[in-house]
Structure 1
Amino acid sequence: MNVQAEAVATGFIELPFAGGEHFLSLTGPLYAKRDGDKLVLGLRIEKRHCNIAGICHGGMLMTFADMQLGLGARFGAEEEFGFMPTVSMTADFLAPAPLGAWVEGRTDLLRATRNFLFCQCIVSSNGAPVMRASGIMKLGGAPIPIKGLPNLRTLLK
Structure 2
Amino acid sequence: MDFTPPAGLEGWEKWGSDEPYEDMAGPFFYQRTPQGVVSAFKVEPKHLNGGNAIHGGMLMTFADYALFTIALDELTDTHAVTIALNGEFTAAGPSMGFVYASGEVVRETGSMIFVRGTINADDARTGPTLLNFSGIVKKLKKRS
Mark yes or no: TM-score above 0.5: yes
| 1:105 corresponds to which of 101, 106, 115 | 101
| CA distances 1:103-143 after superposition (whole Å, capped 9, x unpaired) | 00012100000110011011100111110000011012239
Contact 1:74 1:81 in 2 (8 A): no
| More helix as a share of residues | 1
- How far apart in 2 are the matches of 1:31 and 1:132? 19
Q: Which amino acid aligns with 1:112?
A: E
2:99 partner SS: strand
Q: Which amino acid aligns with 1:116?
A: M
The 1:138/1:33 distance shift into structure 2, 3 A limit, reads same
| CA distances 1:14-33 after superposition (whole Å, capped 9, x unpaired) | 41658x67112211221211
The 1:16/1:117 distance shift into structure 2, 3 A limit, reads closer
- How far apart in 2 are the matches of 1:115 and 1:48? 36
Q: Which amino acid aligns with 1:13?
A: W
Q: Please identify, of 80-89 and 97-106, the stretch whose mean Cα deviation from structure 2 is larger.
A: 80-89
Within a 5 Å distance, the mapping from 1:44-123 to structure 2 comes to 44-75=42-73, 77=74, 80-123=76-119
2:41 partner SS: strand
Q: Point out where structure 2 has 5 or more consecutive residues left out of the alignment.
A: 1-5
Q: Which amino acid aligns with 1:40?
A: V
- How far apart in 1 are the matches of 2:53 and 2:99? 12
Within a 5 Å distance, the mapping from 1:21-36 to structure 2 comes to 22-36=20-34
* Percent of aligned pairs with the same amino acid: 26
TM-score normalized with structure 1 length: 0.76
The 1:12/1:130 distance shift into structure 2, 3 A limit, reads farther
TM-score normalized with structure 2 length: 0.82
Q: Which amino acid aligns with 1:120?
A: R
- How far apart in 1 are the matches of 2:113 and 2:47? 28
- The number of aligned residues is 134
